[in-house]
Amino acid sequence: MTSGKTISENIKKLRTKLGLTQDDLAKKADIKYTTLMKVESGTVNKPSVQTMDKIARALGVSIEDLIK
């Protein structure tokens, strides 16, 4: 089982690699900015599969890439 920290770190790393702000990614993933902020900060360490799927698609990666 991976920790929420790994997920949040992976999302942040991929987002910055693509040159996206949190707001950019939230809009691209069609999720609330506050939701992304909570996931990326680790406040929400078990985001829903739907949220993870939207974030992964927006980043052009698989959900597995976010959790490993």
Q: Is the dihedral of CA 36, 41, 44, 47 positive or negative?
A: positive
**Domains of the chain by residue range:** 4-67
Residues of the chain short of pLDDT 70, as ranges, are 1-4
Which pTM value belongs to this model?
A: 0.90
CATH architecture of 4-67: Orthogonal Bundle (1.10)
Encode 5-39: b = buried (16+ Cβ within 10 Å), e = exposed.
eebbebbbebbeeeebebeebbebbebeeebbebb
pLDDT at 3: 59
pLDDT at 19: 97
pLDDT at 1: 46
